[in-house]
Amino acid sequence: MKYNTKIIQEGEKPNLKEGAYGDVSIPIHLSSTFARKEVETPTGGYEYSRSGNPTRSALEKKLAALELADFGLAFSSGLAATTTLLLSLTKSGDRVLASDDLYGGTKRLFNRVFDKQYSVKFSYVDTSNISGLEKAIKSDTKLIWLETPTNPLLKISDIKAIAKIAKKNNILLVVDNTFLSPYFQKPLTLGADIVLHSTTKYINGHCDSVGGAIMLSESNVFEKLKFNQNAVGAILSPFDSFLTIRGIKTLALRMERHQENALRVANFLSTHPKVLKVYYPGLPTHPGYDIAKKQMTGFGGMISFEIRGGISTAKRFLSNLKLFALAESLGGVESLIEHPAKMTHASLSKQEREAVGITDGLIRVSVGIEDARDLVKDLKQALK
């Protein structure tokens, strides 16, 4: 079966057996517990909805299909997935080597919970620089944690090259693939061991559910994660599982349009006199363009750009937009725009922000699937 067929059909084969109803769309199984005929035989394999639920199982099969993985697990948020993963694969004294330009919430969880309270150690490097990454590996390094493209500067790291280094050093490679979605990048096929998503973003795609996912094919690692998914209990609800399944069915269509629109917006911004710099991996001027072309099948829908005039111009511009909602988050069908220094990355100090290149004039756009002509028109009038 080809990819686009599989992600629609996987997990949702209509049940045509005697007594079943042949649902084409998986029902929302809200039952918290499942009755059985005999003491030792759970009906249909289900006992209690934290350990397993038919709607969540359908989603977990779809999630695995998305990343061409053997296993998928659904969590109550991206950070719940990250928490369960770290609890399963690290202990006090272990080290995680991570991208320096990580999602802010992930960095907060790493530094203020796992480091401060549980003594797991973290080192941050620019993972787009392979030799720097290799030098930062120590004997206690157990995981490499990668985001590519990064947020908000869309830096690209070479997954295949880093996977080779991880294997050589007996380290597991985790890729947070939220920014591109599995439609445009499949890290497991490039040698990564584990893929993580905030399904809140492109996978659900409609800004109406918060969720997380882990996909992988190594069964011993899966067993640990599966055990802890139940033991910790940070599971996705049946209703959110249903919404996420519904979102996945249009992932291919949405991603194609996100990309088409993003390229039009990026090209428009690149030629505008009030724009100093545009960050989009689909522009040949982007420093990661060659690796992006090699490891991604598309460039995605996220763009950042720097406006001339700093914070005051940025604020005026943002409040003059009519179509772009001024909001955090990304990956929904509707266009969103935000100011990293004052919004998503406000928890970093000014020095920390400037060290990675997040200036006061930087603006991040999640380009939606509306008509690109309207989006460009709105940006043009607000820049004016």
- Name the residues annotated as catalytic: 50, 103, 176, 201
Q: What DSSP letter does each residue of 144-178 carry, written as one string?
A: EEEESS-TTT-----HHHHHHHHHHTT-EEEEE-T
Is 212 a binding residue for ligand PLP by CB under 6 A? The answer is yes
Query: Looking at beta carbons, which residue is closest to ligand PLP?
Result: 78
Is 103 a binding residue for ligand PLP by CB under 6 A? The answer is yes
Residue 369: partners with Cβ closer than 8 Å, 6 or more residues away: 254, 257, 258, 261, 333
Is 237 a binding residue for ligand PLP by CB under 6 A? The answer is no
Is 368 a binding residue for ligand PLP by CB under 6 A? The answer is no
The amino acid occupying position 225 is: L
Is 146 a binding residue for ligand PLP by CB under 6 A? The answer is no
Smaller CB distance to ligand PLP: residue 88 or 106?
106
Residue 122 host element (H or E): strand 121-125
Stretch that binds ligand PLP, among 43-51, 83-91, 196-204, 272-280 (CB under 6 A): 196-204
Considering only residues 141, 148, 178, 204, which one is a binding residue for ligand PLP as defined by CB under 6 A? Answer: 178
Considering only residues 52, 78, 149, 187, which one is a binding residue for ligand PLP as defined by CB under 6 A? Answer: 78
Is 200 a binding residue for ligand PLP by CB under 6 A? The answer is yes
- Per-residue interface string for the shown chain with ligand PLP, residues 277-296, x marking contact by CB under 6 A: --------------------
Considering only residues 77, 148, 181, 228, which one is a binding residue for ligand PLP as defined by CB under 6 A? Answer: 77
Is 152 a binding residue for ligand PLP by CB under 6 A? The answer is no
| Distance, C-alpha 198 to centroid of its chain | 4
CB of 85 to ligand PLP, least distance (A): 12
Q: Report the distance separating Cα 206 and Cα 248, nearest Å.
A: 10
Sites for ligand PLP among residues 118-137 (CB under 6 A): none
Residues 331 and 201 sit within 8 Å (Cβ to Cβ) = yes
CB of 211 to ligand PLP, least distance (A): 6
CB of 114 to ligand PLP, least distance (A): 15
Stretch that binds ligand PLP, among 16-24, 124-132, 195-203, 270-278 (CB under 6 A): 195-203
**Cβ atoms within 10 A of the Cβ of 174, count?**
26
Is 201 a binding residue for ligand PLP by CB under 6 A? The answer is yes
Is 366 a binding residue for ligand PLP by CB under 6 A? The answer is no
Is 210 a binding residue for ligand PLP by CB under 6 A? The answer is yes
Stretch that binds ligand PLP, among 11-19, 102-110, 152-160, 229-237 (CB under 6 A): 102-110
Stretch that binds ligand PLP, among 37-45, 72-80, 230-238, 253-261 (CB under 6 A): 72-80
Considering only residues 10, 101, 176, 193, which one is a binding residue for ligand PLP as defined by CB under 6 A? Answer: 176
Is 360 a binding residue for ligand PLP by CB under 6 A? The answer is no
* Secondary structure letter of residue 196 according to DSSP: E
